[in-house]
Amino acid sequence: MAIQVKDRLFTIEMANTMYQMQVDSYGVLCHLWYGAKTGCSMEYLMDYPDVGFSGNIYDAGNVRNYSLDNRPLEYSTIGNGDYRIPALSVIHANGTKALDLRFEAYEILPGKYQIPGLPAAYGDETEAETLRITLKDKFSDIKVILNYGVFEKLDVITRSTVIINGEKDAVTIDRAHSLCLDISRGEWEWIHFHGRHNMERIVERNEIFHGIQESSSRRGSSSQQQNPTVLLCEKGATEERGLCYGAALLYSGGFQTQVEKEQMRQVRLLMGMNPELFSWQLNPGEAFYTPEVILSCSLEGFGTLSHQFHTILREHVCRGVHKLAERPVLINNWEATYFDFDGEKILKIARQAAELGVDMMVLDDGWFGKRNDDCSGLGDWFVNENKLKCSLHKLAEDINGLGMKFGLWFEPEMVSEDSDLYRNHPDWAIQIPGRDPIRSRFQLVLDMSRADVREYLYESIRNILNSANIEYVKWDMNRSVCDWFSAMLPAGRQGELPHRYVLGLYELLERLTTEFPQVLFEGCSGGGGRFDAGMLYYCPQSWCSDDTDAYQRTQIQYGTSFFYPVSAVGSHVSAVPNHQTGRRTSLEARGVTAMAGSFGYELDLSKLSREEKEAVGEQIRRFKQYGPLIHNGAYYRLSNPLKDNLAAWSFVEKDQSRVLAQGLTFRVEPNMRRYVLKLRGLEPAAQYQLVKGTELEAGQIYTGAALMAGGILLPGADGDDKAFEFYFERV
């Protein structure tokens, strides 16, 4: 068993790492260790002086070197002498804020715990164990259950918290984080993933300074601006070396990640829902469940850590028949037509795509209601047959007749003021009475906390999915939320709306994905604005970014790859000049970049030359050949496109028998020597034959050691953004 308990010492031993905590003599649950397996208790490192102005718990009497203000704690609270950032804050009936949590009980359960109404990693008794530790406030009947889901073989621990009110009066939770991790020693850096629309998940690495640093979203979604993931690493850690931790929140609403370096140079990491958008009235006898955090540790740098997250997300978060299935190559009409289309124009695109080997035609925005621009029609989920000049059933049937699948775009959470839905139900939109609503993209947001709103959306979408052979749904959300108000909540409980919104969204997605298991759902939010592990529980892939420019996409996909598997990354070839940047890149550069994801096209095929169409057909054949390796192999980042003059990555078969390396060289300089690309993850003594390589003769044989230590020569520079691709097989 991975979980071992002896004399109130809890040790979780996984394949390569160990997590350890202990109940001390005062009943406080202290964190001891997270890192390499040591085979013993790490309590001997708990060495703390008497620090002035760090208070002492009453039980400790005159033991002045015992303070919760500097002890590494497993779950921190406010009002108990710990002045660092708290994971939990509860307002009691008398208005006070204080919790003094002490150990009460524990249990070990087979399999992985689940969370009512929230996404969570899953695993049966052969894959996971659950450790459940109950803490109780010393002075009230409030209990906190710490759940630990242990995936021993994957070096992964999940964390979630349950707060139970055993008092006779209601209490208010105004802060409830899912993860608290105290690191008592070392010099650390942190990496977060910032961005904006069309430029999501850009890697930023900083030294942790004394004080609090934060990555968060107040936008009602996980957002383009910050991602609910974080890395902590030793100074000098690289892709292949160094101790590092990663944490990913399974939540699609506002979140907060905080890192504090305190007076003793210790580091505390917190992650959970954003308290600025959260409060919750917890009535007597009720329980509140926090979202889950996936936590993992690597002793061998970021590459190993990424592999651990890719595996847990693909195999234990994504669900259904599509989670490991090969993705269809699709074409989306958005950048080809925008709102200007009818059924025949869509069918024309589909005919050309079918000839080139595309598997699916996706009809984007504009097929429903009165929707000829982005100022009307949202919420009216009925087919506009006058615009299509045919039924949706007929269009899908004709596309199926070409040997292609058919998919459809929705934006269910939004409503236009110019819509029948809004005219009939203005109270269904989130807006504060007596104030003008905040518009974005000239649309408002539906109150997903309302059962009647969810029922309307469920019936509307259900009817459409039953009306035609629809095998793919793109679920979009094209704005943030700020003016929070629900007519269904009393004045003192409006702070519950942001979380209730997310719970409502998850409930609707659960109903639809359960009823239509054959449909591949893809998440989207103005591109990558809600690219998080919570959405992957319902939608096994997400549109990575609205920016399809090959050069910038390498940077976006680079940051995305630290946590999210390639199979979850929606990535397409689009037209040039690029609609977001105006940049011109070769079709091959766009194709190679898009292959590092769920591959597709977003352009008007009729505007391509014969040679370009042949190139598209060849790209599709390559992707279908390499697709199983791309999605199932181990992914390696071979360069940093934010700093280097090239982007490079590779996919290695699990048995090390095949490897595909791809990428772009960015800017040409005079008198450049050819770059050398060093591969990783190969069997050093094995021989690998080059089956196909850009500007290299096929058939050459190299040892794995040579390819990793010496590398492979990249093509010579003859222009910016030049693509390369090498495919090797073990002899």
Asked if 105 contacts 90 with a C-beta cutoff of 8 angstroms, the reply is no
Tens-place pLDDT, residues 364-375: 999 999 999 999
Tens-place pLDDT, residues 580-611: 999 999 999 999 999 999 999 999 999 999 99
The pLDDT value given to residue 695: 85
Asked if 686 contacts 623 with a C-beta cutoff of 8 angstroms, the reply is no
SS3 33: strand
Neighbouring residues of 433: CB distance < 8 A, sequence distance ≥ 6: 485
The rounded distance, in Å, linking the Cα atoms of 374 and 339 is 9
% residues pLDDT > 70 (the chain): 100
The pLDDT value given to residue 367: 98
Dump the DSSP string for 555-598: HHHHHHTTTS-GGGEEEEEE-SS-TTT-----HHHHHHHHHSSE
Say yes or no to pLDDT of 191 above 90.
yes
Say yes or no to pLDDT of 717 above 90.
no
Torsion, CA 28, CA 33, CA 39, CA 44, rounded to 10: -60
Is 37 exposed, middle or buried (CB count within 10 Å of its CB: 0-12, 13-18, 19+)?
middle
Say yes or no to pLDDT of 242 above 80.
yes
Token pair of 204, please? 């930023």
The rounded distance, in Å, linking the Cα atoms of 610 and 334 is 22
The rounded distance, in Å, linking the Cα atoms of 713 and 705 is 15
For 674-717, the three-class secondary structure string (H helix, E strand, C coil) is CCEECCCCCCCCCEEEEEEECCECCCCEEEHHHHHHCCEECCCC
Q: Please give the helix or strand (H or E) that residue 474 lies within, else none.
A: strand 472-475
Confidence of residue 316 (pLDDT cuts 50, 70, 90): very high
Rounded to 5°, the CA angle 651-657-659 comes to 25
Average pLDDT over residues 69-95: 97
Tens-place pLDDT, residues 507-555: 999 999 999 999 999 999 999 999 999 999 999 999 999 999 999 999 9
Q: Domains in the chain, ordered, with CATH?
A: 3-316 (2.70.98.60), 330-467+481-517+531-605 (3.20.20.70), 646-730 (2.60.40.1180)
Confidence of residue 305 (pLDDT cuts 50, 70, 90): very high
Average pLDDT over residues 651-658: 98
Tens-place pLDDT, residues 99-115: 999 999 999 999 999 99
Which of the residues are catalytic? 532, 612
Say yes or no to pLDDT of 12 above 90.
yes
The pLDDT value given to residue 697: 85
% residues pLDDT > 90 (the chain): 98
Summary mean pLDDT of the chain: 97
Confidence of residue 1 (pLDDT cuts 50, 70, 90): confident
Average pLDDT over residues 123-152: 98
SS3 142: strand
Q: What is the rounded radius of gyration, in angstroms, for the C-alpha atoms of the chain?
A: 27
Q: Please give the helix or strand (H or E) that residue 601 lies within, else none.
A: strand 598-602
Say yes or no to pLDDT of 712 above 90.
yes
For the question of whether the overall pTM of this predicted structure is more than 0.95, the answer is yes
Average pLDDT over residues 498-513: 98
Confidence of residue 50 (pLDDT cuts 50, 70, 90): very high
Confidence of residue 189 (pLDDT cuts 50, 70, 90): very high
Say yes or no to pLDDT of 634 above 90.
yes
Say yes or no to pLDDT of 669 above 90.
no
Instruction: Give residue for tokens 């406030």.
Output: 137
Average pLDDT over residues 250-258: 98
Average pLDDT over residues 563-578: 96
Lowest-confidence segment of 168-182, 298-312, 489-503, 710-724 by average pLDDT: 710-724
The pLDDT value given to residue 119: 98
Average pLDDT over residues 310-323: 97
Asked if 447 contacts 489 with a C-beta cutoff of 8 angstroms, the reply is no
